[in-house]
Homo-oligomer: A and B are copies of this chain.
């Protein structure tokens, strides 16, 4: 069955969350803590990401969006850093750091090459408004915003991938999930989607990312330009 759509993981695959959150954390917190290590702060925050979604995946908590989950995990992180007492406006600005992320350098041209050939949409755990912020900042040419909010659940739950294919009125086999994370691709493949891995070996700093897939995938690409080339675009 011919591929008709590509759906994308966003954090790490298209956007440099580590660099963006580190930058914003240093901007907002160094006035209070001059030696703050933005990279370590970003990684420590992200480490609280999966546990925050887990009760929603398990159905013990109603859907809450990433702004809400980031605000909660930030409180935990700030307490651990002895920064729990910072102003609420600073906390709010830190949550919005996740809205102010920049794309990797290959993304704009890669998506532009893919767009004439395929429907393109994010299939991220970001909610719709957060995805809009990402797209506006980085000119991501989405046909629609799919992902967690549409399914009201979080990847890697099958409902998220299947809701994306259903919204496009495509069979799972007509849709390829594009991600820099093997766990995301394994979950998509289990739903019948095609898979494309993008190498982001420095996602969380030098050597802190996947240089290649650790699971079988349909396409393994060095970046989005390489993906476009391999797909004949």
Query: A-side interface residues toward B, CB under 8 Å?
Result: 67, 119, 127-129, 131-132, 135-136, 142-145, 149-150, 167-169
A167 close to B149 (CB less than 8 A): yes
On chain B, the residues within 8 Å of A169 by CB distance are 67, 127, 129
Starting from the known contacts A135-B143, A142-B144, A144-B144, 17 additional A-B residue pairs (CB-CB under 8 Å) come to A67-B169, A119-B132, A128-B144, A128-B167, A128-B168, A129-B167, A129-B168, A129-B169, A131-B144, A132-B143, A132-B144, A132-B168, A136-B143, A143-B145, A145-B145, A149-B167, A150-B150
Whole-angstrom distance between the Cβ of A198 and the nearest chain B Cβ: 24
| Bound form: Cα–Cα A119–B142 in Å | 14
Chain B residues closer than 8 Å to A149, beta-carbon distance: 167
Consensus secondary structure, chain A interface: helix
Looking across the interface, which residue of chain B has its beta carbon closest to that of A131? B144
Are A144 and B143 in contact, CB atoms less than 8 angstroms apart? Answer: no
Contacts of A167 in B (CB 8 A): 127-129, 149
Neighbouring B residues of A142 by C-beta, 8 Å: 144
A149 CA to B145 CA in the complex, in Å?
A: 13
Output the least CB separation between A118 and chain B (Å).
11
In the complex, how many angstroms separate the beta carbon of A16 from the nearest chain B beta carbon?
22
Q: Which of A119, A131, A135, A169 has the most CB of B within 10 A?
A: A169
> What separation, in Å, do the CA atoms of A180 and B225 have in the docked complex?
43
Chain B residue nearest to A149 (CB atoms) is: B167
- A8 to chain B minimum Cβ distance, whole angstroms, is 15
User: A145 — nearest CB in chain B belongs to which residue?
Assistant: B144
Closest CB in chain B relative to A47 CB, distance in Å? 26
Cα distance, A142 to B67, chains bound together (Å): 22
A136 to chain B: which residues have CB within 8 Å? 143
Q: How far is the CA of A128 from the CA of B145 in the complex (A)?
A: 10
Interface pairs (8), CB distance under 8 Å: A67-B169, A129-B169, A132-B168, A136-B143, A143-B145, A144-B144, A145-B145, A150-B150
